[in-house]
Amino acid sequence: MNPVIVIPSYWSGDQAGLTSPGAYDHTTDLVGQRPELDRCLASLEQVRKLPRVIVLLVCPQAELARTEARVRDIIDQHPSVEVTLITNREASAIMKRVSELAPKASGETVSLRGYGAIRNMGLACAAILGHNAVVFLDDDEVVLSSDFMERALYGLGNETRQRLPILAKSGYFYDKAGSPLADTTKKAGITCRWWTKRIEFNRWMEKALAGTRISRSNYVCGGCFAVHARAFSRVAFDPYITRGEDLDYLFNMRLFGLDVWFDNAWAVKHLPPAQAEESPRFMQNVYRWYYERAKLAVASRKPEYNSVTAAALMPYPGPWISGGLDERVRKTALARAFFTREHRGYWHIWRHGIGEAQEYAREHERDYLRFVSFWPSIIDGLRGDKRLAALLERA
């Protein structure tokens, strides 16, 4: 096994974050005291047999020079961690090659913009540098033990007792309070009554944590996720989804007749920064779930794909791709328009956002299926590309 750790790192030039659909949950402030990436790399210093670490630098183009200098300074403070930093310069060369390999793919499918495309950039870099396993870690997480890589690679590339291949697997995260479960101590009021997954998620997670170490997963923690080349050479992340690209990868694997597995002995700690506004993130999720449902419906009508249904994903996340989604969105947007401080944001979503999300879903519901048909040839073309490999080695 020749693994690599991939860490997407999101930065903003100012303290203001990105708020449009397709923006990021958080961006690191360029002038902050101790950036999340610094904390993450520090935690990796304890890891035995630590492989190469690829950091994907996501930032506004206008702030590239300042941000790159800051990030390189952070990297230099952790000399025991071998880091390859991918900026817009390296990414542009890879994107150009991808466009040559798949000229009919629409949009930015492999880039440093958009959750799914950024993940695909990580897979592309791994292929170029000859790695056959990718371990994704988020920069707002910390590794908990020196055997992190041993746990990450446990079972990967092997088979279950039923002779099913383990080609992708997820660990899980502990929150600031040290719990792997969603917080249910606070009663869900009217603003969350139709938009909470806590009970369903906890029901699934409790069963998975109490079961055998490796079990079939209905969940993906994108910041504690390992994927073998036999999977990522065939299945790409979806660059058209606004967020939730990690769980979406599980759906995509199932479309190809493959599974994501859950490892209840592999975990990280998640320490995310506070969020200023909730309505933009809610809007991202509205886009996400309408698009997800439409994509899976289109795929179910194509004989080359396996059908992925809500019933097969109960108790979580099945309800989110079911017919009940429409009522969930409408009631939540209206309740939050009246009973939260973000009146204007949620009122816009109730009046216009739902229709906009439905239109986006109709326009793009076939795009991933078209793109993923090109993906194997993209990976084959990138693998062993000496020119790009030399470029990344210099990075």
Q: Residue for token digits 């000229």?
A: 103
The pLDDT value recorded for residue 14 is 42
Q: Residue for token digits 């499918």?
A: 109
- Radius of gyration of the chain from Cα atoms? 20
Taking alpha carbons only, the member of 217, 238, 123, 220 closest to residue 164 is 217
Q: Do residues 365 and 294 touch, judged by C-beta distance below 8 A?
A: yes
Q: Is 99 exposed, middle or buried (CB count within 10 Å of its CB: 0-12, 13-18, 19+)?
A: middle
SS3 4: strand
Strands 168-174 and 261-270: what pairing?
parallel
Average pLDDT taken over every residue of the chain: 92
pLDDT tens digits, 345-364: 999 999 999 999 999 999 99
pLDDT in tens, the chain (395 residues): 999 999 999 998 543 333 343 467 778 877 777 899 999 999 999 999 999 999 999 998 889 999 999 999 999 999 999 999 999 999 999 999 999 999 888 889 999 999 999 999 999 999 999 999 999 999 999 999 999 999 999 999 999 999 999 999 999 999 999 999 988 776 568 888 888 888 889 999 999 999 999 999 999 999 999 999 999 999 999 999 999 999 999 999 999 999 999 999 999 999 988 766 688 889 999 999 999 999 999 999 999 999 999 999 998 899 999 999 999 999 999 999 999 999 999 999 999 999 999 999 999 999 999 999 999 999 999 998 999 999 999 87
Alpha carbon separation from 364 to 4, 305, 320, 329 (Å, rounded): 32, 18, 19, 20
The pTM for the full model equals 0.94
The pLDDT value recorded for residue 33 is 75
Alpha carbon separation from 355 to 92, 150, 160, 229, 349 (Å, rounded): 34, 47, 44, 39, 9
Taking alpha carbons only, the member of 371, 290, 359 closest to residue 323 is 290
CA dihedral over 61, 65, 71, 76, signed as positive or negative: positive
